[in-house]
């Protein structure tokens, strides 16, 4: 199910400056801007870079770019770059010929070839290696590639939409991402707001998820108890819409009546304890958060605000992963599920942050 929610014909009132895109829930000003840019860029052939935290629904926006474009009659091919090793990802993207490597018993068509005339969505592109980035740059510039183990050059007419949950310019400065590829991808950026930046959309999202999980579980939880929406709109949602979706499903299953009450929501949402997933609430005020981290000795505020922001985000992410790993007894599969990311992405982050890699 889509992270931002699926609606039968869009949601919101006709007063929205930029009406919702069919299939996406949300009428907040932040989402209206996303709709405006998405519609505008969809009509072009420009590369698109979708940015946003984990769980905000980047794939849904990528799908909308394709659906609203002249390529809508072609395939929409999704590739999660963080879910595969470098060798497997290269084969997945470009295909391979028989005998190219052990196990290559037949020729295989890659995703770029399969997406001819359509769109390729490269999710978690920040997870790709520098070597693979060179080949991706060639596809962007020349529309050409070779299958693994082959010397014949193939052409593709596939539009590339990429997504990252990390600041790619920071990755460029750290020499983990090629600057030339960054500029080729970042023709039109679309930044999806976190759920805490569009709290007014929470009631509509809750309503959608309630309807969906009532149907899935043959339940009838249709009423909202006192204080439920207020509590949800006060919570900081580190896992964004994906976390909200998870909690509504849990509430539908656990509710003893037809009413969704506070007691079936996690303690972190009720405001009784720190979030088991994220620790202390993330301050929305940048300066307050920066001062708090300096006080705790986590960073030193330098002259460049952008670098300070990156440092803060990385410290928060590192602490979050460390806490969840501890709560999950080091079991990475369980921790990845709780964090809302895939296991390979978590594995890479554990390595990047030096958190140890003993558990599986």
Rounded CA separation 56/3 (Å): 7
- Give 136-158 as a DSSP string: HHHHHHHSEEE-BT---EEE---
Domains within the chain, CATH numbers bracketed: 29-193 (3.40.50.300), 196-270 (1.10.8.60), 286-352 (1.10.10)
**Which residue ranges of the chain lie beneath pLDDT 70?**
1-17, 105, 273-313, 357-360
Instruction: Classify burial at 322, counting beta carbons within 10 Å of its beta carbon; exposed 0-12, middle 13-18, buried 19 or more.
Output: middle
Rounded CA separation 142/151 (Å): 16
CB atoms within 10 A of CB 169: 14
* β-bridge pairing 259-260 and 223-224: parallel
**What sign has the CA pseudo-torsion 229, 62, 28, 219?**
negative
Phi, psi torsion values for 167, nearest 5 degrees: -70, 110
H or E stretch at 297: none
pLDDT confidence of residue 317: 79
pLDDT confidence of residue 17: 65
pTM value? 0.72
Match 């949950």 to its residue by tokens.
165
Rounded CA separation 196/227 (Å): 18
pLDDT confidence of residue 309: 55
pLDDT confidence of residue 312: 66
From residue 44, alpha-carbon distances to 38, 111, 123, 188 in Å are 10, 21, 20, 10
The helices-and-strands tally (H runs, E runs) of the chain is 15, 11
* β-bridge pairing 223-224 and 188-191: unpaired
pLDDT confidence of residue 109: 86
Rounded CA separation 160/48 (Å): 7
pLDDT confidence of residue 281: 42
Reduced to 3 states, what is the DSSP secondary structure of residue 290? Answer: helix
Please name the residue ranges forming H helices in the chain: 29-42, 58-67, 86-94, 111-114, 130-142, 168-173, 179-185, 202-217, 228-234, 240-254, 267-270, 286-295, 305-327, 332-339, 343-352
pLDDT tens by residue, 175-219: 999 999 999 999 999 999 999 999 999 999 999 999 999 999 999
């Amino acid at each position: 199910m889509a992270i931002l929610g699926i609606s039968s014909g869009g949601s919101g009132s006709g007063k929205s400056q930029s009406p919702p895109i069919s299939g996406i829930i949300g009428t907040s000003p932040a989402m209206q801007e996303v709709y405006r840019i998405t519609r505008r860029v969809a009509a072009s052939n420009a590369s698109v870079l979708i940015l946003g935290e984990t769980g905000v629904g980047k794939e849904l926006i990528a799908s909308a770019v394709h659906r609203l474009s002249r390529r809508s009659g072609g395939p929409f091919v999704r590739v999660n770059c963080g879910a595969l090793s470098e060798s497997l990802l290269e084969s997945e993207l470009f295909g391979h010929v028989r005998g190219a490597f052990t196990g290559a018993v037949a020729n295989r068509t890659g995703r770029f070839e399969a997406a001819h005339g359509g769109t390729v969505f490269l999710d978690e592109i920040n997870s790709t290696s520098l070597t693979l980035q060179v080949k991706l740059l060639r596809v962007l510039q020349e529309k050409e590639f070779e299958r693994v183990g082959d010397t014949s050059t193939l052409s593709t007419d596939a539009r590339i939409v990429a997504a990252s949950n990390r600041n790619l310019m920071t990755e460029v400065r750290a020499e983990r991402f090629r600057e030339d590829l960054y500029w080729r991808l970042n023709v039109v950026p679309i930044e999806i707001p976190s759920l805490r930046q569009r709290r007014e959309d929470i009631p509509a999202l809750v309503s959608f998820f309630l309807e969906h999980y009532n149907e899935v579980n043959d339940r009838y939880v249709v009423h909202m108890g006192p204080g439920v929406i207020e509590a949800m709109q006060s919570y900081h949602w580190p896992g964004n819409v994906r976390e909200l979706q998870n909690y509504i499903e849990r509430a539908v299953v656990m509710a003893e009546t037809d009413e969704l009450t506070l007691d079936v929501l996690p303690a972190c949402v009720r405001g009784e304890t720190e979030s088991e997933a994220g620790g202390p609430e993330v301050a929305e005020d940048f300066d307050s958060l920066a001062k708090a981290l300096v006080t705790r000795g986590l960073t030193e505020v330098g002259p460049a605000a952008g670098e300070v922001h990156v440092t803060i985000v990385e410290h928060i992410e590192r602490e979050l992963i460390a806490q969840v790993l501890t709560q999950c007894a080091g079991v990475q599969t369980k921790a990845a599920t709780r964090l809302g990311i895939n296991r390979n992405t978590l594995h890479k982050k554990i390595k990047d942050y030096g958190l140890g890699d003993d558990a599986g």
